[in-house]
A and B are shown apart, each in its own frame.
Chain A
């Protein structure tokens, strides 16, 4: 008979296995050493990825969670080990990512004594987590693990922290594990009210200028199919947010592009004219809305979200529906009738054509000059398998990747949307590849962001993680540089970067590399990169004065959209 009188450390591992965990990202240390000691006996069931910095662990876990839909698990030690994951927790909270962080803590008797490597992790992480708890007795571990996984992965997913005191890890207990099925204070599955669906169907019938905006919630709810069904049945144009990218294929005729600061002219202009906006699984944050008081002046807004606190939070809605995105679309597709607004749909196409000629073609088909980020990204997208995953860092690389990559498969876009964490890209791409080993993972990263977590090249080397790293290298912190050029009289304060030889760095880690500076070499360089499934760094030299357009200046309305440094587009004129 199996001996279940075991230590808290072993109980933790057995409970993780019961929750379906097979991959852990982590870094050992003094107050978590007992867990790592037990892990030595469980390597056949728990694959541990030793990262090079705890921030790398949590971003990798985020990448893993967002490609698999299962919670990403992180184990770190007390004090600095735990504080190093806080950026990732805040990022995961903003981007609704299921993460379970297990941190070691000093023994109960030493709590509050400023013991070596003691930090008040629960207090510090409360505002960056969905739930955080300290465990001081071994027998508390199984129930806390069960609760953690339930909270992290249900409803609006998010990060949780289990801070386990040393004595709880070492102490003995009688282990058994029962999964958490419900919590009295927390109902993650709101029920759809059929009357709400009837009302939305009615609104759609009378609307002349309707638009659906699909956010990250659509992806999290696996609602890509039901979204498409509603859009096609109703013949309704669909726009996505940044994190909603890939919820509808790029080449679908009803996909009208991305909304927001660097979104497409079609849907951004449409928000001024639309008479009905159905926003599903998004927060209507400042980057989507621009000026909160001037957003969608003619539209009735129907807002659907699984988080009731998001409803009527940033913008006033006509109809707020507390529901899961997939439940909503499925129910609506039963009721929806085809709409017929050819003039409305044509408006998107006119604006799309204008944007293609004015903004997109000059980037994709330039006659001369240095490489553009957009053309590198599009060339990679065209050469990569259709189900490739696009991972980005933060900044111009992110916005260009969002706009110029092509999405054909579900869950193909992975980026730090809400928090905008530079350094997210490399570890997140690593986690994505571990979560989806059969898909090609293309990371687009700038020279600034890459250097924030560049140590993870070591992890990529150690575990042969086949990430394709496309470095869009302009020797600048490009996005800040752009704002400085546009709004601060070209005073480039602290944005030029003196960079190392990135190829040599990658080669030192045994990663194959390429370099491209000329347009005519681009296709071959990408072909070389994609010729196997191993890690690769492609260093692409980009013009340092490249800027991303269209752009709506922060906090302003959509009535004036910059399409170049000196040219504006006025949707209503």
Chain B
């Protein structure tokens, strides 16, 4: 069926077991539908033994939900959620390495740091390393500000998120599963 849903940035939040090979299994599901992954961040969550992935991609809600359904089919994937930006609290970290001399020459460094709520990680005669946590547009704004001073290096992390619910989105699912597992063991 034709998909007329608007294209925007969606966040796929995936909870899984920590097993080898899962990243390629999941990423190919995006590839097959020609959807480019904008950012990915994988790590621990508040539940021991559960890995949390946050993947962002520009596509329609319907296409992202289809991807989510296919991802959820993978063995060792526990549960998958699709969010738009209104449904989550999210951040990215960016690190900028700028030449020190031009920054000092214009006496703008303090103003820039204050205005962007950034912080300085390291200063040498040659370079200054600045860190900024925020939304994409905010780290992008600082990037634009710093570029004229001679940007030497830059990297932005994948998105990390928490939901607006009181617990991890996967908690209820895990409770149901542990009950199911307990039943399966006692029944046989």
Chain A positions near chain B (C-beta within 8 angstroms)? 122-123, 126-127, 130-134, 151, 181-187, 292-293, 307-309, 313-316
What's the Cα separation between A183 and B76 when bound, in Å?
8
Query: B78 interface residue, CB < 8 Å from A?
Result: yes
Cβ contacts B1-36/A at 8 Å (1 or 0 each)? 110000000000000110011001100100010000
> Residue of A at shortest CB range from B181?
A182
Cβ contacts B70-100/A at 8 Å (1 or 0 each)? 1011011110000000000000000000000
Chain B positions near chain A (C-beta within 8 angstroms)? 1-2, 16-17, 20-21, 24-25, 28, 32, 66, 69-70, 72-73, 75-78, 174, 177-178, 180-181, 184-185, 188
Say whether B73 contacts A185, CB under 8 Å: no
Given A127-B28, A309-B69, A181:B184 Cβ within 8 A: yes
User: Beyond the given A127-B25, A309-B73, A315-B1, could you list 17 further A-B residue pairs with CB under 8 A, ordered by the A residue number?
Assistant: A123-B21, A123-B24, A126-B21, A126-B24, A127-B32, A131-B75, A132-B21, A134-B20, A151-B75, A181-B184, A181-B188, A184-B181, A185-B17, A186-B76, A308-B69, A308-B72, A309-B72
Given A293-B2, A309-B70, A316-B1, A185:B78 Cβ within 8 A: yes
Say whether B69 contacts A313, CB under 8 Å: yes
10 example contacts (A-B, Cβ-Cβ < 8 A) are as follows A123-B24, A126-B21, A183-B75, A184-B174, A185-B75, A185-B77, A185-B177, A187-B180, A292-B1, A308-B69
Say whether B75 contacts A130, CB under 8 Å: yes
**Most chain B beta carbons < 10 A, residue from A123, A186, A308:** A186
What's the Cα separation between A185 and B50 when bound, in Å?
11
CB < 8 Å: which of B66, B70, B177 contacts A184?
B177
Say whether B24 contacts A182, CB under 8 Å: no
What's the Cα separation between A253 and B104 when bound, in Å?
90
Say whether B1 contacts A314, CB under 8 Å: yes
Say whether B75 contacts A186, CB under 8 Å: yes
A-side contacts of B24, CB under 8 Å = 123, 126
A-side contacts of B21, CB under 8 Å = 122-123, 126, 132-133
What's the Cα separation between A127 and B2 when bound, in Å?
25
> Residue of B at shortest CB range from A310?
B69
A-side contacts of B78, CB under 8 Å = 184-185
> Residue of A at shortest CB range from B22?
A126
B-side contacts of A292, CB under 8 Å = 1-2
Of all A-B residue pairs in the complex, the 8 with the closest CB atoms, nearest first, are A309-B69, A182-B184, A131-B75, A181-B184, A182-B181, A185-B78, A292-B1, A184-B177
* Closest-CB distance, A521 to chain B (whole angstroms): 51
CB < 8 Å: which of B25, B66, B76, B174 contacts A313?
B66
* Closest-CB distance, A378 to chain B (whole angstroms): 38
B-side contacts of A181, CB under 8 Å = 184-185, 188
What's the Cα separation between A256 and B122 when bound, in Å?
77
> Residue of A at shortest CB range from B73?
A309
What's the Cα separation between A292 and B1 when bound, in Å?
5
What's the Cα separation between A315 and B1 when bound, in Å?
6
What's the Cα separation between A183 and B77 when bound, in Å?
11
* Closest-CB distance, A37 to chain B (whole angstroms): 29
What's the Cα separation between A187 and B77 when bound, in Å?
11
> Residue of B at shortest CB range from A187?
B180
A-side contacts of B185, CB under 8 Å = 181-182
* Closest-CB distance, B168 to chain A (whole angstroms): 15
Say whether A185 contacts B70, CB under 8 Å: no
B-side contacts of A130, CB under 8 Å = 75
What's the Cα separation between A132 and B184 when bound, in Å?
24
B-side contacts of A313, CB under 8 Å = 66, 69
A-side contacts of B17, CB under 8 Å = 184-185
* Closest-CB distance, A158 to chain B (whole angstroms): 10
Say whether A126 contacts B2, CB under 8 Å: no
A-side contacts of B178, CB under 8 Å = 184
> Residue of A at shortest CB range from B185?
A181
B-side contacts of A133, CB under 8 Å = 21
> Residue of B at shortest CB range from A180?
B184
> Residue of A at shortest CB range from B178?
A184
> Residue of A at shortest CB range from B72?
A309
B-side contacts of A126, CB under 8 Å = 21, 24-25, 28
What's the Cα separation between A316 and B69 when bound, in Å?
15
> Residue of B at shortest CB range from A183?
B75
What's the Cα separation between A185 and B180 when bound, in Å?
11
* Closest-CB distance, B100 to chain A (whole angstroms): 43
B-side contacts of A314, CB under 8 Å = 1
> Residue of B at shortest CB range from A127?
B28
CB < 8 Å: which of B2, B16, B69, B184 contacts A185?
B16
What's the Cα separation between A186 and B21 when bound, in Å?
17
What's the Cα separation between A186 and B78 when bound, in Å?
7
What's the Cα separation between A313 and B1 when bound, in Å?
9
What's the Cα separation between A190 and B184 when bound, in Å?
14
A-side contacts of B75, CB under 8 Å = 130-131, 151, 183, 185-186
> Residue of A at shortest CB range from B183?
A182
What's the Cα separation between A132 and B75 when bound, in Å?
10
* Closest-CB distance, A361 to chain B (whole angstroms): 38
B-side contacts of A316, CB under 8 Å = 1
B-side contacts of A183, CB under 8 Å = 75
A-side contacts of B66, CB under 8 Å = 313
A-side contacts of B16, CB under 8 Å = 185
* Closest-CB distance, A146 to chain B (whole angstroms): 13
> Residue of B at shortest CB range from A295?
B1
* Closest-CB distance, B87 to chain A (whole angstroms): 21
> Residue of B at shortest CB range from A182?
B184
What's the Cα separation between A152 and B21 when bound, in Å?
18
* Closest-CB distance, B54 to chain A (whole angstroms): 18
**Most chain A beta carbons < 10 A, residue from B66, B70, B75, B177:** B75
What's the Cα separation between A293 and B3 when bound, in Å?
10
